Each structure stands twice: as C-alpha cells, then as structure tokens.
Amino acid sequence: MALRELKVCLLGDTGVGKSSIVWRFVEDSFDPNINPTIGASFMTKTVPHQNELHKFLIWDTAGQERFRALAPMYYRGSTAAIIVYDITKEETFSTLKNWVKELRQHGPPNIVVAIAGNKCDLNDVREVLEKEAKDYADSINAVFVETSAKNAININELFIEISKRIPSANAGATSGKGFKLRRQSSEVERRCC
C-alpha cells in the first residue's frame, strides 16, 4: 500500500481541547489535568484509507494568545487544518471564524478545513447550537463534527472525514477538494452527543 504523509495542524482558543483530541486519536487516552501546550507539539499516526496508508503528521498549536504569531509556521504547507471550538463557550466559536478568515487569506489555497465542536459530553451547558455550527461549516465547505476527547466521541471519524477529502494519489493534481473548491457531503455516520 502506498504511504502518504499528510500534514495536519490544529488551531483554536486555549482550553478548547486540541491536545486532548490529538491524545485521544494517537494514544486513545485522556488526561483531565493536561497542561496547556507551549509553542506546539508534534505527533503522528498512520491509518489505512482505501488502498493507501495515511500517515498524519499532526502539529498541535498552542492556543494561548502569546503563541498566536507562531501559527502560520504550522498551517503553511498543511494539507488540512482542524479548527476546534468548545461547544460550552460561544467566544471560542467566534475565534474559530477568525481562523477561517486567516486561513483563507494566508493558508494554502486547497487546504482541507475541518471544524470540531469539542466537549460535546457537556451538552447541559452548551452555548453553541450544533445546527448553527453545521450550517456555518457547510457554508465554507468544511468538515464538521462534534467531538468529545473525554468520551472518545467522533475523534476517529474526524480524521476519517479528512482522509476522504484528500484526493487519492492517482486522481490527478486538478482534483483538489479544498474548502474553496468543492462541496462534498459527509458520509460518515456520526455518533450523536
């Protein structure tokens, strides 16, 4: 099977759960006392996709404001960006929209954008409606899932959706499926939070 390396970066406010999503995906573990990321951290995981192996090279950026200027180093050259917000904090959804604007202006033209509404285990204190976020994601042709790193909900599905948006190696260079180019409906059956 052909091995493809896919650079993926995670963006979003501090505390939304970016590192926790990566830990759940790579190590299948969750640490309620995880420390904030300093600068950025890097992990990899290889998964089969159709007749290929996708090796995700994952850059988890720090959400704290003092690290904000570092982000372009990580999203430049990325195949996909996962922008994470916390469903219990409306302001983190506003920050997400700013990241989308920045990616449009300065990111790679065909970058696959995925939006993850994390902490969906905290539905009782939700501030962002799932429909509002889904409609927004559809409007920019982004992948959308609500996730819980804590309860392992939709974490693998998030990466599967990204894999699906990557043109296969023999599909030709013109078949980009970036968020500016083409709509594609989601086929993964997601667990509901």
Ligand X SMILES: Nc1nc2c(ncn2[C@@H]2O[C@H](COP(=O)(O)OP(=O)(O)OP(=O)(O)O)[C@@H](O)[C@H]2O)c(=O)[nH]1
The residues that touch ligand X, with contacts defined as CB under 6 A, are 12, 14-20, 32, 34, 36-37, 62-64, 118-119, 121-122, 148-150
Q: Closest separation between CB of residue 114 and ligand X, Å? A: 15
Q: Around Cβ 130, how many Cβ atoms within 10 Å?
A: 17
Q: Closest separation between CB of residue 16 and ligand X, Å? A: 4
Tokens representing 56 are 């995700």
When the beta carbons of 36 and 109 are compared against ligand X, the nearer one is: 36
When the beta carbons of 62 and 166 are compared against ligand X, the nearer one is: 62
When the beta carbons of 181 and 192 are compared against ligand X, the nearer one is: 192
Per-residue buried b or exposed e for 41-74, using 16+ beta carbons within 10 Å of the residue's own CB: beeebeeebeebebebebbbbbbeeebeeebeeb
**CB-closest chain residue to ligand X:** 63
Q: Closest separation between CB of residue 119 and ligand X, Å? A: 4
What secondary structure, in 3-state letters, does 113-174 show? EEEEEECHHHHHHCCCCHHHHHHHHHHCCCEEEECECCCCECHHHHHHHHHHHCCCHHHCCC
Q: Closest separation between CB of residue 99 and ligand X, Å? A: 12
When the beta carbons of 4 and 150 are compared against ligand X, the nearer one is: 150
